[in-house]
Amino acid sequence: MRFVIVNLLDTSKNLGHFEIHRKQNHKIGGEMNDSTASQFKVWAFLRRNTALLSHDEYRAGHVGFHCGNTRRLKGIRGYTVNIHDERADLGRALAATGAVTVENEPQGFLDLWDGFPAVHFDDRQRWTQAGTPEPTRATEDGLVEDPDWTLSDGPFLFDRVAPTTTQFRSYHTRVEEHVIQPVLRAEARPYKLVQFFRGAEGLALDALREQLLTEYTPLCSTFSGLNGLVLNLRDPDIDAAVQGYYPEDHWCFTAEGRAFREAFFGLWDGALELWFDHADAFVAARAAHPMLPTLNELERGLFSALWYVAVDENVIVMPNRQPAPDFYYR
């Protein structure tokens, strides 16, 4: 399967360019120009090592040290790390406003993970070969492979399978990305929501995709104060991101690993990423939307489950969806 991604930088080159494309985002798939590129995008849901770390300690370890090494994965084209804010009552608070639909949020969803990196590569091969060392350290001998480059903190940072192994539990999934509205990043911490959803019973993935792209996301893209909107559809093949990336004896391919992953991915079929300046802006945008009844009706027909998670987004490598440059890009 070939996933078509909108060929746009995840940056705001200038406001005029941004405003022009906002007016064109009714096009299917958010394809705001005639040029498209295919990328391999992976979300990796990770739970912390609870025996060693609190949620905030995990945040420091992941963003502070781990990303300093993983940002050097060979061929990486984009990298963000999303840490959830631990607010288990967000769904109830949003639903209580009367402006936001929340249905069948899985109990204990935030207990299953602490953060999820999102990484972009040009294709599957580059993703599976991302751990290949390359010269990045300048020494008296010139540019060499860094002997100190390591991912050995993983078993201590993440949910270790057993004390006798360095493997840790993870939920890696490939997602099909559609940039509906490019992200406009101010020089301030944004408010980012991840809107998880599970398709309505009996609604095929192709039909869900079509309605999301032609009816639902065009409406969402007209929210006032919206600074970015990206649709992600989970690949139904739960091995799409791990086959060839992990060795065949990895936990994810064991009976336990497969059961864990099937249960987790069975909770949701996709997610919208929405960026605003602050938390109240999202509720205000929905409440004031002239087509809120239509939006609510679409949600009732499209989704059997719909809920929200607020995340602290850390941009490690700005996503670059243009053709790869001929130099080392980070």
Task: Give the model confidence (pLDDT) of 296-314 as tens digits.
Answer: 999 999 999 999 999 999 9
Whichever domain contains 255, its CATH number is 3.30.70.100
On whether residue 310 sits in a domain, the answer given is yes
Burial class (CB in 10 A: 0-12, 13-18, 19+), 295: buried
176-225 residue pLDDT tens: 999 999 999 888 889 999 999 999 999 999 999 999 999 999 999 999 99
User: Rounded to 5 degrees, what are φ and ψ at 5?
Assistant: -115, 145
Segments of 210-296 assigned E as strands: 228-234, 270-276
How far is the first Cα of the chain from the last one, in angstroms, to the nearest whole number? 28
Evaluate the CA torsion angle 271, 275, 280, 282 in order and state its sign: negative
Confidence of residue 38 (pLDDT cuts 50, 70, 90): low
User: Is residue 42 in a domain?
Assistant: yes
Domain assignment of residue 55, given as a range: 5-317
In a domain, 324, yes or no: no
> For residue 308, what is the DSSP state?
E
* Residue 28 pLDDT exceeds 80: no
Owner of token pair 């940056």: 11
Closest CA to 198 of 275, 107, 271: 271
Q: Is 85 within a domain?
A: yes
Global pTM reads: 0.87
**Does some domain include residue 329?**
no
Overall number of domains in the chain: 1
Q: Residue 53: name the closest of 63, 43, 41, 61 by CA.
A: 61
Q: Is residue 327 part of a domain?
A: no
Is 94 within the bounds of a domain?
yes
In a domain, 325, yes or no: no
Amino acid found at 12: S
Of 274, 294, 321, 315, give the one whose Cα is nearest residue 67. 315
